[in-house]
Structure 1
Amino acid sequence: MGTANRIRNVAFLSTYPPRECGLATFTQDLVQALDAFDDLIKTKVIAVSNGDYYNDPRVMTVLSQYDKWSYLDLAKKINESDIDLLVIEHEYGIFGGFCGDYILELIKNLRVPFITTLHTVLPNPTFKQKQVLTTLGAASVKVVTMARNTVKILQNVYGIDSSKIEVIHHGVPFRLLESRDKLKKKHGYANLNIIATFGLISPGKGLEYGIEAIAQVVKDHPNTLYLILGKTHPGVKSEQGENYRQKLAAITGWLGIENHVRFIDKYLTKEEIIYYLRLCDIYLTPYLSKDQAVSGTLAYAVGSGRVVISTPYLYAQELLGEGRGLLAEFRDANSIAKCIKYVLDNPDKKSEMERRTAKLGQNMLWNAVASEYFELFLKLTGDSKDTGTKVS
């Protein structure tokens, strides 16, 4: 069989459902989109596990997150398998060791080419964080990043050759749903301005500033409701319990806006995320870190064609340019409130922002994103198993 027609086996190393994290959902969505795209690519998953149980037939094996020997054993399994290409979905917190450096034990012993897809790109990494990503980048045949503004960081900070770097959007799902007004009415939100934030809750999300902004907005727009959707991040909960959520609830009480802020304490399914984005008027991300290179929640909001108000972290600056949203100052409730009021006071401007956002969102739908990965995989698995720079 010629290389043009043979099936390529591509394995993804990542967290995977039922584990509750954005990376797991991302990987599940990508492999499903690839499976629906073309039968020349056969996808498999190697699940990074912390005691999770998997019943998805795509999961070929697991990697024990905190067991260093598991990384060595996995390299052997991959080398002896029919896998043509490995895709490492990289996030510092999902691999064991110091700054996730156990992943280096895997790639040092791997004889199959691999791509590294980056979910975090730090412009000012610690020494160890830089070492891990620099080593991964040197050994990868390609490095995929989801934001153009990270390309120079990868080149200048991590020394990754520009020829290796590919920019592919974070994918977003598409669903045909009823209109915003119909969904609002169905959920008891008729005639309300709905502002929403979703995702795993942690102090870095800056939600206290969003709540303080709502206290100002409701003075002029009393029909406004802020939905804070999501459970506390498991890592935060294990260390601090529900302290942050309780702090947010207390702020809401002190400001006397209990009727204007609603906490929905659950891990949202993909369908629920899409549903809430469809019915909301404004999506808000008041994050505190200016260096955040990628945000899955922001990608979903843009993919849904929603007006986004955000603090100006890297990814927000990139996605919300050209009139697709508004940027507020970091840690500044007054600035956030001013942006919200502008949108609510100017429905024509709101509609224009939604049109601009929806246009970009079309390029971020999973079928479009899967097409780009598909072409990349075919190019890399044509007739060579040559890896990048060998790790010593």
Structure 2
Amino acid sequence: MRIAYVSTYPPIECGLATYTKYLSDSVRRAGKEVFIFSQLGAQGKDVYEVYSPKANDIAGRLFFYVERLAPDIVHIEHEFGLFGDQRGVQIVEFLIRCNLSETPVVTTMHTVFEDLKFEEKIIVQHLLDLSSSIIVHESFQKDILLKNYKISNPIHVIPHGVREVRRNENAKELLGLQGRDVLLLAGYIRSTKNFERIFNILPELIRKNKNMVLLMAARNRINEHSPYKLELYQKLKDQYYSDHIKVLFGKFPQSSLDNILCAADIMALPYIKGGQSGVLAQASAFHLPVVTSQLKSFKDWVLEVQGGLIAESDEDYIRHITNLFQDDDLRNQLKENIKISNKQRNWTVIGKQHLKLYNKLIKPPISNAEFYYCNPKQINKERIF
């Protein structure tokens, strides 16, 4: 089977790029042929730099590669704004072109909210109409689509995948945090992350947890949320607890991020808006307990996985973080719960769920026809005649 993913891809700095790499790697390991059609700047095996995100001929450029490479399935990883102006309307033309060529298209919708803008709602309806199947990460996202749009094709709930990794046991030592209780804030800097809520309660947290350190490892893309970033760091600068705050900055490639996650005892996720978080998936890989806001995706994850605690107020954040620092049994139980959950959410499992869906979309021309694909690795290359 030959699958073409339409998405951003590393080294492009984007959570969607990382997601696509892990998914496509999982599908490759299952013996399938994979192509990536991405924006300029993407690199890697069978990765094609197809378009600039501001171009006005994105649909034609993408479909050019569909025609030349003839994938069995096209899989779009969708976020608004990736496909030109007007919130990425050109993806609709690309879907029409795929439909005209009878190429099945799966679309994963990574941005599903009740309060989408007018133009975004129009694009969503076209995605639903023109895709062979839709994937979302959360059941509540499926409910939003069923409630607000006309649905003509199946919607599947497939969770965000989790990496299978090995923990770095000397991570705290490498960061100069040995012997400390570490509360982590990490991820791209956006106002919706609401990091300042943790800054505001830091004095009380320190009073109750004399050994704690707030480790902030956040970054922002070029020219994105710069005023908020300056305001955020000014708040930290104004704090009088230098022995209890450690700020890291940089690009944080995966090895660096992994070491940061391994150094933490708890992660705080005080977000006020967002869907399933890539940062939560990264934390889950290392069985890191979380204290989250009441954001729907976080709340559902906590209730299902039992890997964290939900906070409604500042008092809740203070109480939950303190309990996790001081109650080893509670913290270890949450870590074990995450470990058990990961067995059903690792990328190998998630890749198989995608392949099961892909197989359903490849329609035989007659009832007894069989789809055939032979992985070159299956051929005994030693037998040459």
Query: Under TM normalisation by the shorter chain, which class is it?
Result: 0.7 to 0.9
The correspondence for 2:345, drawn from 358, 364, 367, is 364
Which of the pair has the greater relative contact order for Cα pairs under 8 Å at 6+ separation?
1
SS at match of 1:121: coil
Aligned position for 1:177: 167
SS at match of 2:57: helix
Question: Runs of 5+ in structure 1 lacking a partner?
Answer: 1-7, 385-392
The CA deviation string for residues 118-158 of structure 1, in whole angstroms up to 9 with x for no partner, is 11111222221111011101111111111122111111112
SS at match of 1:320: helix
Q: Distance in 2 between matches of 1:319 and 1:380?
A: 29
Count of aligned residue pairs for this structure pair: 362
Aligned position for 2:113: 122
8 Å contact 2:165–2:286 — kept in the other structure?
no
Matches within 5 A, 1:322-337: 322=304, 323-329=306-312, 332-337=313-318
Q: Distance in 2 between matches of 1:267 and 1:223?
A: 28
Matches within 5 A, 1:236-385: 236=224, 241=226, 243-289=227-273, 292-322=274-304, 323-329=306-312, 332-381=313-362, 383=364
Aligned position for 2:21: 28
Identity of aligned residues (%): 23
The CA deviation string for residues 289-328 of structure 1, in whole angstroms up to 9 with x for no partner, is 2xx2211111222232111101111110111115321111
Aligned position for 2:139: 148
Q: Distance in 1 between matches of 2:229 and 2:241?
A: 16
Q: Distance in 1 between matches of 2:81 and 2:13?
A: 14
Q: Distance in 1 between matches of 2:246 and 2:173?
A: 17
Q: Distance in 2 between matches of 1:129 and 1:70?
A: 18
Root-mean-square deviation over aligned CA pairs: 2.0
Instruction: Give the letter for the 1:25 counterpart.
Output: T
Q: Distance in 1 between matches of 2:343 and 2:256?
A: 20
The CA deviation string for residues 69-92 of structure 1, in whole angstroms up to 9 with x for no partner, is 232232244134321111110011
The CA deviation string for residues 324-348 of structure 1, in whole angstroms up to 9 with x for no partner, is 211112xx54432222112123221
8 Å contact 1:10–1:87 — kept in the other structure?
yes
The CA deviation string for residues 218-246 of structure 1, in whole angstroms up to 9 with x for no partner, is 11212111122132133515xxx3x3233
Q: Distance in 2 between matches of 1:70 and 1:118?
A: 19
User: Against the structure 1 CA distance between its residues 307 and 99, is the aligned structure 2 distance closer, same or farther, given a 3 Å change threshold?
Assistant: same
Aligned position for 1:390: none
Asked whether 1:10 is paired with 2:3, we answer: yes
Instruction: Give the letter for the 2:324 counterpart.
Output: V
Question: Runs of 5+ in structure 2 lacking a partner?
Answer: 366-385
The correspondence for 2:158, drawn from 154, 168, 174, is 168
Instruction: Give the letter for the 1:215 counterpart.
Output: P
Instruction: Give the letter for the 1:134 counterpart.
Output: Q
Q: What TM-score do you get using the length of structure 2 for normalisation?
A: 0.88
Asked whether 1:222 is paired with 2:213, we answer: no
Q: Distance in 2 between matches of 1:29 and 1:77?
A: 22
Q: Distance in 1 between matches of 2:83 and 2:302?
A: 31
User: Against the structure 1 CA distance between its residues 77 and 58, is the aligned structure 2 distance closer, same or farther, given a 3 Å change threshold?
Assistant: closer
8 Å contact 1:10–1:83 — kept in the other structure?
yes
